[in-house]
């Protein structure tokens, strides 16, 4: 969503979020975040599917790229305008502090660099006038601040 900020604000959400908003550039950022997420899973001994492979499996889709796969998904692209109308929409105000911040916190504990995820958190914080690194759910809030990597793997 952060990559579509200009369009969301100027068009008041009057576009297809997935069909029009998931451009090659946006999908490139999504794939970079995905690689960081998959690396975290690997370090924890969990085999995670990429977003594209997961979509293909869940929706029985085909596509050579993430964008093509998204465009082939009638669930995401088979309707009219559906983009958020403001930057405080849940994709930022909920997903960043309650999904990305915990992932970034876990990665830091595991010694994994997540520059793309951290960048999205930082940009969302600026856009919404929040410090999601501080207000989001970290390892402390999850009761894992003092847990060892081995203890986290065992969960």
Tell me the per-residue pLDDT of 82-122, one tens digit each, with 9 for 90 and over: 999 999 999 999 999 999 999 999 999 999 999 999 999 99
129: left (phi over 0), alpha (psi -120 to 50) or beta: left
d(CA 2, CA 48) in angstroms, rounded, equals 24
What's the confidence (pLDDT) of residue 15?
97
d(CA 92, CA 109) in angstroms, rounded, equals 24
Average pLDDT over residues 6-16: 96
d(CA 77, CA 8) in angstroms, rounded, equals 17
Fold classified for 2-154: 1.10.1040
- Reported pTM: 0.94
Tell me the per-residue pLDDT of 34-87, one tens digit each, with 9 for 90 and over: 999 999 999 999 999 999 999 999 999 999 999 999 999 999 998 899 999 999
Q: In terms of C-beta density within 10 A (0-12 exposed, 13-18 middle, 19 or more buried), how is residue 121 classed?
A: buried
What's the confidence (pLDDT) of residue 79?
87
- Domain ranges for the chain, please list them: 2-154
Any alpha helices (H) in 12-97, and if so which ranges?
Answer: 24-43, 51-59, 66-71, 74-77, 90-93, 95
Question: Sorting pLDDT into bands at 50, 70 and 90, what band is 17?
Answer: very high
What's the confidence (pLDDT) of residue 109?
96
The 10 Å Cβ neighbour count of residue 117 is 23
Average pLDDT over residues 139-150: 95
The 10 Å Cβ neighbour count of residue 11 is 14
């Amino acid at each position: 969503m952060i990559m579509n900020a200009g369009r969301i604000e100027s068009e008041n959400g009057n576009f297809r979020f997935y069909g029009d908003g998931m451009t090659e550039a946006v999908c490139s950022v999504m794939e970079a975040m995905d690689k960081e997420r998959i690396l975290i899973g690997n370090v924890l001994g969990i085999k995670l599917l990429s977003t594209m492979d997961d979509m293909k499996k869940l929706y029985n889709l085909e596509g050579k790229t993430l964008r093509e796969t998204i465009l082939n998904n009638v669930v995401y692209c088979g309707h009219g305008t559906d983009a958020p109308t403001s930057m405080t929409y849940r994709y930022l105000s909920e997903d960043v502090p309650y999904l990305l911040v915990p992932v970034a916190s876990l990665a830091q504990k595991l010694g994994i660099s997540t520059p793309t995820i951290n960048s999205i958190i930082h940009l969302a914080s600026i856009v919404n006038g929040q410090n999601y690194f501080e207000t989001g759910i970290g390892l402390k809030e999850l009761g894992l601040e003092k847990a060892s990597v081995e203890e986290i793997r065992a969960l």
